[in-house]
């Protein structure tokens, strides 16, 4: 357990670390070395900082804490997907996934420990929200998954999606700060255009992203194209109905011009009829969305939903295509290790 009386060194700016070293009577460049260990070389402890003297490392350890995430367990899927269960300094667990395809290597990361939204089809929705992840804990997930990617494939991550446990826009400040670090030239230097934040639909948060002129992509987990059905599976729809989300997405696009995607999981005999497809097309026409991702449903223990058969999926897809909708079927990966969409539950 980290000593909460000591300050987390990663919550200090480079200037603040420089001041600390100056007060110690140390050279200013030491601060840059420490900063590189924290954000470029992903040191998980002060002992890792091998170009500092033992005495200096000890002083850092007496003044600050470095509560890094650690990997608790790793599971490998037959399709190459790697799921990691990370442990926080205060003993909580959170999951992240590395998804390899022929053209990209994607990290799917979590933003909260558990979730407060209780979506009926999602395993995380059945776990109470314990707390938000700090921005450095989110960064650690990406750094650790990136290391796995390099070890398994000899390549760095190409994309990041905030589609793991929790609702990113209910941990707004930490998610944005984590992305700031991930995209910083002094850290991972990843292009924000390769990052997608997925929301279950927090209209106020979507508008705030517009006001903050963010550079990353946005995905809305829609999953039902009318309020009655959406309310049934996503309680957040009570306070964020489809009209409020359409308005918020248009505002976001006006402010940023960034790519918007709709996510839509098909549930057998619930939202997979051609009438549902018609309602989905209507929403798609109201927003400058680039794409609708149709997602295979991955059954979970607690939910009554089933996946439609292949013929139904194809009929739904073809109907959308016929109406000039840019649509893609997203086949789930990592199902055999409960790493697929909606399955993350710290198993």
Nearest CA-CA partner of 339 in 155, 81, 92, 128: 81
User: Is 341 an annotated catalytic residue?
Assistant: yes
Question: Is 279 a known active-site residue?
Answer: no
Please give the radius of gyration of the chain, using alpha carbons only, rounded to the nearest integer.
21
From 108, 122, 149, 341, the catalytic residue:
341
Q: Give CA–CA dist 235/246, Å, rounded.
A: 17
Which residues does residue 87 pair with via DSSP β-bridges, in sequence order?
70, 93
Our CA angle for 218, 11, 216, nearest 5°, is 15
302 three-class SS: coil
Q: In terms of C-beta distances under 8 Å and separation of at least 24 residues, what long-range contacts does 272-280 make, across chains too?
A: 272/308, 272/312, 272/313, 272/316, 274/315, 274/316, 274/319, 276/224, 276/225, 276/229, 276/316, 277/316, 277/319, 277/320, 279/225, 279/226, 280/222, 280/225, 280/320, 280/325
Q: In whole angstroms, what is the distance from residue 5 CA to residue 221 CA?
A: 40
Quote the CA–CA distance of 156 and 146 in Å, as a whole number: 6
> Catalytic one among 18, 95, 134, 263?
95
Q: Is 295 strand, coil or helix?
A: strand
For the chain, the first-to-last Cα distance in angstroms comes to 23
- Planar angle of CA 169, 175, 177, nearest 5 degrees: 135
Catalytic residues: 95, 341
């Amino acid at each position: 357990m980290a000593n909460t009386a000591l300050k987390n060194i990663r919550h200090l700016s480079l200037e603040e670390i420089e001041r600390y070293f100056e007060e110690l009577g140390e050279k200013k460049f030491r601060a840059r070395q420490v900063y590189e260990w924290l954000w470029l070389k992903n040191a998980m402890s002060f002992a890792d900082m091998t170009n500092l003297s033992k005495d200096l490392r000890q002083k850092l350890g007496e003044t600050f804490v470095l509560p890094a995430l650690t990997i608790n367990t790793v599971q490998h899927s037959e399709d190459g997907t790697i799921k990691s269960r990370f442990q926080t300094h205060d003993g909580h667990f959170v999951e992240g996934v590395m998804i390899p395809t022929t053209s990209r290597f994607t990290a799917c990361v979590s933003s909260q420990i558990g979730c407060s939204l209780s979506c009926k089809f999602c395993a995380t929705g059945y776990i109470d929200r314990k707390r938000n992840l700090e921005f450095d804990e989110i960064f650690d997930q990406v750094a650790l998954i990136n290391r796995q990617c390099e070890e398994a494939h000899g390549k760095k991550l190409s994309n990041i999606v905030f589609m793991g446990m929790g609702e990113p826009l209910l941990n707004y400040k930490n998610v944005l700060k984590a992305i700031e670090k991930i995209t910083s030239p002094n850290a991972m230097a990843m292009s924000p255009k390769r990052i997608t934040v997925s929301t279950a639909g927090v209209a106020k948060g979507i508008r705030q992203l517009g006001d903050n002129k963010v550079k990353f992509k946005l995905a809305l987990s829609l999953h039902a194209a009318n309020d009655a059905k959406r309310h049934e599976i996503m309680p957040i729809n009570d306070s964020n109905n489809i009209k409020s989300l359409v308005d918020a997405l248009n505002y976001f696009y006006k402010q940023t011009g960034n790519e918007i995607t709709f996510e839509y999981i098909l549930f057998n005999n619930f939202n997979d009829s051609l009438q549902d497809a018609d309602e989905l097309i209507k929403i798609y026409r109201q927003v400058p969305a680039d794409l609708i991702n149709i997602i295979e449903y991955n059954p979970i223990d607690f939910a009554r939903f089933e996946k439609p058969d292949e013929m139904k999926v194809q009929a739904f897809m073809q109907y959308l295509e016929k109406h000039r909708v840019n649509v893609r079927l997203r086949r789930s990966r990592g199902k055999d290790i409960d790493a697929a969409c909606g399955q993350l539950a710290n198993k």
